[in-house]
């Protein structure tokens, strides 16, 4: 259950500056979204861009960006840049039957309050309301980098799915109801913590 002091709503242009700051905190080594990119997300698919608000303070606590894709136009191991047109969402297809979870971020001071789960539920509700076939995403594997010398990624992911290992990101996704399709390499090529690996989830 989402604590009463948080609310989920659709992204508004007034949220952009706070979202950019969350990007900087969550992905300190990556270039954050620009206001133009966020405005484009809002323009092409406003109903698929969710924010969690810390209501007493009116602050953005987390975000979940989605777009619709026709997956037969892509490959299962395509990287994030391909699936999101370089983060612009220019490949959003209003006729696509798959809701693609492009990004989900929660500000570090608001983590462990069920916000990511509530944001995922909002996207799941959109998938159902639009009568889409599925919701697909990819999970970083930041725990894998330290184990890459001792096991292949397939073995690592299988151990996380069985609950024998805990991955900081994939384990959270599994608790939120996602299931693993398979590991892929190069989804986020500069993700050294994951050794470039991710797991396709749906």
Share the mean pLDDT of the chain: 95
Cα gap 146→168, rounded to integer Å: 12
Structure confidence at residue 87 (pLDDT)? 93
Q: Show me where the domains of the chain are located.
A: 1-132, 138-202
Superfamily of domain 1-132: Gcn5-related N-acetyltransferase (GNAT) (3.40.630.30)
pLDDT over 70, % of the chain: 100
Structure confidence at residue 29 (pLDDT)? 82
Per-residue tokens: 6 = 């948080």
- C-alpha distances (whole Å) from 138 to each of 181, 189, 199 are 9, 13, 5
- Give yes or no for a contact between 69 and 26, defined as CB atoms under 8 angstroms apart: no
Query: What is the reported pTM?
Result: 0.93
Residue 1: pLDDT over 80: no
**Beta pairing, strands 134-140 & 98-106:** parallel
């Amino acid at each position: 259950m989402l604590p009463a002091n948080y609310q989920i709503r659709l992204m508004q242009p007034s949220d952009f500056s706070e979202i950019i700051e969350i990007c900087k905190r969550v992905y300190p080594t990556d270039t954050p979204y620009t206001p133009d990119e966020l405005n484009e997300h809002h323009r092409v698919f406003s109903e698929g861009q969710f924010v969690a608000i810390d209501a007493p303070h009116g602050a953005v606590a987390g975000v979940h960006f989605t777009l619709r894709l026709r997956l037969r136009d892509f490959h299962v191991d395509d990287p994030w840049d391909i699936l999101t047109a370089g983060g612009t969402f220019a490949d959003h297809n209003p006729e696509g039957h798959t809701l693609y979870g492009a990004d989900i971020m929660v500000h570090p001071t608001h983590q462990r309050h069920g916000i990511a789960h509530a944001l995922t539920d909002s996207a799941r509700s959109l998938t159902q309301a639009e009568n889409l076939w599925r919701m697909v995403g990819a999970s970083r594997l930041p725990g894998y980098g330290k184990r890459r010398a001792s096991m292949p990624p397939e073995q690592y992911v299988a151990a996380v799915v069985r609950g024998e290992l805990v991955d900081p990101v994939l384990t959270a996704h599994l608790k939120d109801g996602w299931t693993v399709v398979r590991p892929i390499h190069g989804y986020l090529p500069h993700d050294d913590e994951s050794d470039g690996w991710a797991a396709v989830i749906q």
